[in-house]
Amino acid sequence: MALNLDAIGKKIGPVSKEYNWKDLVLYALGVGAGFDELEYCYEDQLKVIPSFSIASVFEFLAEVGISSNVDLSGVLHGEQDIIFHNPIPTEGTLSTEGVITHMYDKGKGRGALVVAEADTYHSNGTKLFTNIFTIFGRKDGGFGGDPGPSGAVDFPARAPDFEEPGTPQSHQPLLYRLSGDIFQLHVDPEFAKASGFEQPIMHGLCTHGYACRAVIKYLFPGEPERMTRFRVRFSKTLYPGVPITTQIWKLEEGKALFRTINAENGEVVIDQGIVEWMSAEEMEMRKGREGIRFDDQVAIVTGAGAGLGRVYALELAKRGAKVVVNDLGGARDGSGEGSSSPADDVVAEIKAVGGEAVPNYDSVASAQGGQAIVDTAINAFGRVDILINNAGILRDKTLVKMEPENWDAVMDVHLKGAYNVTRPAFVKMRENRYGRIILTTSAAGLYGNFGQTNYSSAKMGLIGLMNTAKLEGDKHNIKINTVAPVAATRLTEDILPPDLLDKLKPEFVAPLVLYLCSELCPISGAIYNAGMGYFNRVAIVTGPGTVIGKETEIPSVEAVAAGMEKIRSIKGAEEFPNATASFGPILDAFSPKKKETASEESGGLTVAGVFENIPGAFQPDNAAGVDVVFQFDISGSGGGAWFITVKDGGCEVIEGSHGSPTTTIKMGDDDFVKMMSGELNAMSAFTSGKLKVEGDLMKSQLIEKLFKL
């Protein structure tokens, strides 16, 4: 069995979990709480043990194990680091999304580490916590990879300041597993023996909960919501019923070290523990800063010396962001020497209300200027989290009168300018695995406007930039969206009638832009109109179309003319996530079976029924020299796992998972049945993301040759 190194960087989730007070109490009981900590066990004024954060994301952790292909018979939890951003509410829905970030090789016989990171948001939009998981695969080392970083926590050379005894019951794993960690190692005696243990062992995360309770009790009693970090390394296994002691060394106000030992033999079962918490004063300040915040984030706003850009910069700073205020200070058409005054004035406004900001006067129209803007952020604040591309100029003329210099000047600022700043900012965001980017389009680009061919072309070009950047940024948690503002700015002050200007304040656009810049925004690749407090979404959609003529014949011009009513219809139009998916309707149109017929033929076909029929559909004459294993992982209530081995001219179908398949096919149960009945074209399913192929993609193409279903 080999680790799937291709899983590094691939997004997992979002996975969701609904919970209420009963889930919190069940978890608390599972980690040893009782009448002496009634605040964790009684719904009246209930408090949440922060380590519940890991119990709430077991489904994500399971996906990490599946995606990495770690050998489950040798898997243990290695390390866990949790960063808390906000207190956990007592009910709601949690949404978790993340990636596998690293796989480290400790050497043959010494195992491997799989590291994943995930952010969890509450259904109210608040970012609650970030989990960094390290899974130890005892049987997966020796693949020649990076051994990874090494480091240890140095405990003080003195007795611990506090010690908290605990006695997990002999049945503790049976109670704890009801919170979601149902791995057989903690309940099945035979599985435990096969894994090298005398009996089922304690969940490391159950002991983790005991330790979490202990540090709260001594360091910030009765206020679990003050915890900001809880990191541990799981160093030894523990059997149920064995007493433990959590030892705590307070280093300073807000930080302590801890470890948990087996009280019978002195072995450290949880090591290198770090706990951090905020002061009571900080907690009160946080309560006063509720809502969408940008604390500790760095934002760049181009064209921020006036109008929309100024409002964006001020609002971001009010909500805690450090802001780079960029403005060349030129005229509306981009002419002139420029001036530092517009950027300086906005920086002064921000500082006057207690915010942090620095000015930048570079032009976005050159690659050097774009890099310098980003460098200003890095030099002043050390990072870039948010970029709002807002800079713009106007040089309006009809197409015939549009001189090349006027065309180029507008393109240089709007389209090339966005590229010039976005590219270096994207590099920094990718390093930090986080970013929010806003592009500014216009109704002129989306719908056209007389006398603005240069401006309209540049603004529509930004949509293309967004459409591809969203795909490239997806696995790095970089989200990019585009806004078409309708606002009174220096570009529109002599275009719009005076009575309308008052209603078109930039302040009405800013709320949508700030939401799209926030951590809680899950959206990427969308276009929005915004103005006067009215917002709507714009989308590029594709009509259903029609086939003209016969499949093997080139249609005539006259036939196309006759079919234009169907060709131009957008009734039932679809929106596609990428260019590949847009080919789906074409492929479906030439599917060997029409959808209506296929629906009838599928009848009572099931996923299990498909695999029962595989041996009869096998074509041995086409299998000469073929040696492959096809793994099918079909999700959904009607799904399951099967693998098909084709070797020496024979075919064998087995329910379950193979250790090292040649190719893995993943689909939902409904889509799989539709594909097997001919209702869904295989290539269309693949391009639309309904069919996922891992491993040897080319070998998957043998399936159609080997089986006639």
| DSSP line for 153-216 | ----SS--SEEEEE---TTHHHHHGGGS---GGGT-HHHHHHTT-SS----HHHHHHHHHHHHH
> Strand order in 663-668's β-sheet?
650-655, 640-647, 628-635, 663-668, 692-695
Tell me the backbone φ, ψ of residue 652, rounded to 5 degrees.
Answer: -135, 130
User: 684: exposed, middle or buried (C-beta count within 10 Å: 0-12, 13-18, 19+)?
Assistant: buried
Give the residue among 369, 363, 428, 86 at the shortest CA–CA distance from 224. Answer: 86
Sequence-ordered alpha helix ranges (H) in 382-486: 404-432, 443-447, 453-473
How far, in Å, CA of 672 to CA of 588, rounded? 15
Please name every residue paired with 578 in a beta bridge, in sequence order, or none if there are none: none
Give the residue among 539, 547, 543 at the shortest CA–CA distance from 570. Answer: 543
Neighbours of 104 (CB within 10 A): 17
Spell out the residues 6+ positions from residue 509 whose beta carbon is closer than 8 angstroms to its own.
Answer: 308, 311, 483, 485, 486, 487, 530, 531
> Strand order in 435-440's β-sheet?
356-360, 322-326, 298-301, 386-388, 435-440, 478-485, 527-531, 534-538
Q: b/e per residue, 531-568, with b = 16+ CB within 10 A?
A: beeeeeeeeeeeeebeebeeeeeeeeeeeeeebeeeee
| DSSP line for 541-602 | -B------S-TTSPPPHHHHHHTHHHHH--TT-B--SSTTGGGHHHHHHT-SS-HHHHHHHH
Please name every residue paired with 599 in a beta bridge, in sequence order, or none if there are none: none
Structure tokens at 466: 């967004």
Please name every residue paired with 483 in a beta bridge, in sequence order, or none if there are none: 440, 528
Find out whether 208 and 270 touch, Cβ atoms under 8 Å.
Answer: yes
Sign for the CA dihedral angle at 665, 668, 673, 677 comes to negative
How far, in Å, CA of 80 to CA of 129, rounded? 13
Catalytic pick from 455, 515, 528, 534?
Answer: 455
How far, in Å, CA of 247 to CA of 472, rounded? 46
Spell out the residues 6+ positions from residue 137 whose beta carbon is closer than 8 angstroms to its own.
Answer: 3, 68, 70, 71, 74, 75, 111, 112, 113, 114
Residue 455 is a catalytic residue: yes
Structure tokens at 87: 């207190």
Please name every residue paired with 11 in a beta bridge, in sequence order, or none if there are none: 99
Find out whether 214 and 246 touch, Cβ atoms under 8 Å.
Answer: yes
Query: In Å, how far are 156, 246, 583, 706 from 218, measured between CA atoms?
Result: 18, 11, 61, 66
Chain CA centroid to CA 391, Å: 29
How many helices and strands, by DSSP H and E, does the chain display? 24, 23
Which amino acid appears at position 98 of this protein? Answer: G
* Enzyme catalytic residues: 455
